[in-house]
Amino acid sequence: MTSFTHTQGQSLPINAADIYVEIAGNPTGEPLVLLHGGLGNMMDFNAIVEHLPEQFQLIGIDFRGHGKSTLGNAPLTYRQYQADVEAVLDQLGITHYSVIGFSDGGITALRLAAAQPSRIRALVTIGAHHQLAEDDPVLGMYAAMTASKWRALFPDNVARYEATNPEPDFDRLVPAVVALWTETAAYPGEAIHHITAPTLMVRGDQDHLCTRAHTLALGESVPQAEFFNLPGTGHDVLNEAPSLCMAGLTPFLLQHCTESGNAMAFSTSPA
């Protein structure tokens, strides 16, 4: 497969939830985990999946409550997302991997890279910050979100969720996600100092959720961090400007994501 379809994967039982995982790309290639943003799902990566280097095994995971994963009874936290991803990869027998994380997926990816640095070959975060101060205005924006507001802003997104999820309950999911967004203690915070993987921080220049200051502060704390700022784009650069996004991702992935951990020449699939 060259895209995620929500038809070719499997659901794995993890901590009272069924976490859905699907593999695209090269089935025997280098593992590259794709982690989506809040109230989205793995299909949000389809704008770039077919343009990723052909040597990668692409592992899409729907966070609990999202896509085809059930919500379960555990509170949504970045800690829980991290534990779910680790459990999925353990069940798949994947010991070393690279990861691209967008927004909530990027925050989770930072936690993964900080907690088990030896497992991560390379890390790409997109529109992700590692901490929020208690007085950060973004927290107020998060706290004000409701299911009805999200329905009004993103009706197609909600319709896709309700058609895809095996136990859809959007009125329950949104407050759970808002609680995750506003639990400042669960952000990676100072743990990012443990990250050793080469890291590419991608940000749309007009991103109102992940500010330039957020990204620069993250970069100053991660030793091998590179900053790729995309002009004229907002938070969802993956879908706003996929070609521009890939202009930064492709050379970074080709340089750093290898089985041995050393750079080697990879070819890319045709655009």
pLDDT > 90? residue 73: yes
Ramachandran angles phi, psi of 191, nearest 5° = -65, -20
Percent over 90 (pLDDT), the chain: 86
pTM over 0.75: yes
- The residues spanned by each domain of the chain are 10-133+185-256
Q: What is the DSSP letter of 257?
A: -
End-to-end C-alpha distance for the chain, whole angstroms: 16
* Interior/surface letters 22-41, b for 16+ CB within 10 angstroms, e for the rest: bbbbbeebbbbbbbbbbbbb
Query: What's the pLDDT tens digit per position in 161-205?
Result: 999 999 999 999 999 999 999 999 999 999 999 999 999 999 999
* Cα–Cα distance for residue pair 151/90, rounded to 1 Å: 35
* Cα–Cα distance for residue pair 81/96, rounded to 1 Å: 18
- DSSP assignment of 43-106 equals GGGHHHHTTS-TTEEEEEEPPTTSTT----SSPP-HHHHHHHHHHHHHHHT--SEEEEEETHHH
> Is domain 10-133+185-256 in CATH 2.40.50.140, yes or no?
no
CB atoms under 10 Å from CB of 194, counted, come to 13
Q: From its phi and psi, is residue 39 left (phi > 0), alpha (psi between -120 and 50) or beta?
A: left
Residue 154, judged by CB atoms within 10 A of its CB (0-12, 13-18, 19+), counts as middle
Model confidence band, residue 99 (pLDDT cutoffs 50, 70, 90): very high
| More confident: 266 or 158 | 158
